Structure 1
Amino acid sequence: MGQNADIRRRGSPSSDAVQMLPHGVASYARSYADGYISAWHDHPRHQLVYAVAGLMMAEAGGTSWAVPAGSGLIVPAGMLHEIRMAGEVQLQSLYIDPAASGAEMMAECRAVTVEPLLAGLIAALCAMNNPWPLPPRAHHLSQLILIELAAAPKSPLALPYPADARLQRVCDALIGAPGAPHTLDHWAALAGMSRRSFTRRFQQQTGLSFGGWRDRLRCQIALRAEARGARLEQVAQRLGYASRQSLLAMMRRLV
């Protein structure tokens, strides 16, 4: 009966078992409770982790990622990553054979926006539950998914962590006190750098201005708190905003 039938007989397959299937694009859907942690691991296949509902907080490739509902994280084969669930998360994952036609665009770790067409294609493939032999519809869904993934816009919520230890000192301090009202000169002094050198080096290391990095950090914190039912008024106060409306304006600007 084959490997797929063996997995079905044992009940609901694990994500590891799904990756052993002969499919070029294998699917896996599951719900997770708030606080669940998928500890550091990697996969032999490329992965798209798509949040249908809830919020995932991920670490991969030296970057922190907030992956809210309607977004997905592309994790290349062999890349270590960790995912934490904030609020109840409904997840749909695709595991893509690196040798599959069109899989080369999965080689870059990035968060993407899953627009309605792509969301519908993923849902349809997951509903088919990895049939084998592969029927024409599943084959065509897989090919369309890869085409749409290649065109998916990047999410604006990546938070790259700098390699420079001086900048790491600043980022760690800000992560510990995200609402700190300090000026740019204060942060430059903490790094032991001039203001000009600090801003230039920060941009080089992260691809973001210091203010842009801080906004993304605060947005990630606010999204996580909101997913767990916190009142945004309290979150805004913690993050140094005068009002809930001010915090929401920043989040809308990013998201």
Structure 2
Amino acid sequence: MFSFPGENLKAREMSVKMLASGHCIWKIAGQTEKMKYLATLAISFALPVTSLFAEHHELPKPDEDGWITLFNGKDLAGWSGNPDVWKVREGYISGQIAKLSGGNTFLIYHHPFADFKLEAEWILVDGKGNSGIQVRSKHSESGANKWVVSGYQADIGNGWHGKLYEERGRGVLAGKYKNKPTIKKDNGWNKYLITAKGSKLTQELNGVVTIEFDDKDPKKSSKSGVIALQYHSPGGFEVRFRNIRIKPAK
């Protein structure tokens, strides 16, 4: 119950109507100023609860060429994911767990990007497992798994390197290579360059363009979303990432 200093509201005629959304409408006879006060409170209550707890990560400052570093090489500032899977080791992000339950999981950078160039280096240790880099994706939850996304994925995995997949969506979007990439042997670092501009996505892997895709589906295409790194179930492998940076279009 709300009250005003120095006054007993019990003497006032007051009715409270609870809306289905959980918001309150207060009616107080003959109290214009108090109506304004309570209206302000009602507006405050009307704010979605999720907005009060939404994560906000301020982007690091860009360099002189406009590139923004998303991974600082020291910790996972700006990212969120399953702490049992994702660790920082010797300047790179390691995704590794013996057995993963609950489906694929993701390390998510909580800031939306629309048009950009994204660079990231990666290793799929000993060529085992499956991973990918999500762009323009949407964060959701799946049961106990809090770190799930849907959207475009630059794929990583034997038979999948360089292809474009849509996680929790349409599946393979571009599976025929424009140019077939060569993957580094002996756990060498590979490099993705992903360009998103309007409805078009281009993926370049180790210096060659592997796919060019124009998503003209007005209902299923995505023009903006988060960046995320995938760790594929059921686990039992290690994937590494480093030198992750983005250059948003001006």
With the length of structure 1 as denominator, give the TM-score of the two structures: 0.24
Larger Cα-atom Rg: 2
Higher strand share: 2
With the length of structure 2 as denominator, give the TM-score of the two structures: 0.24
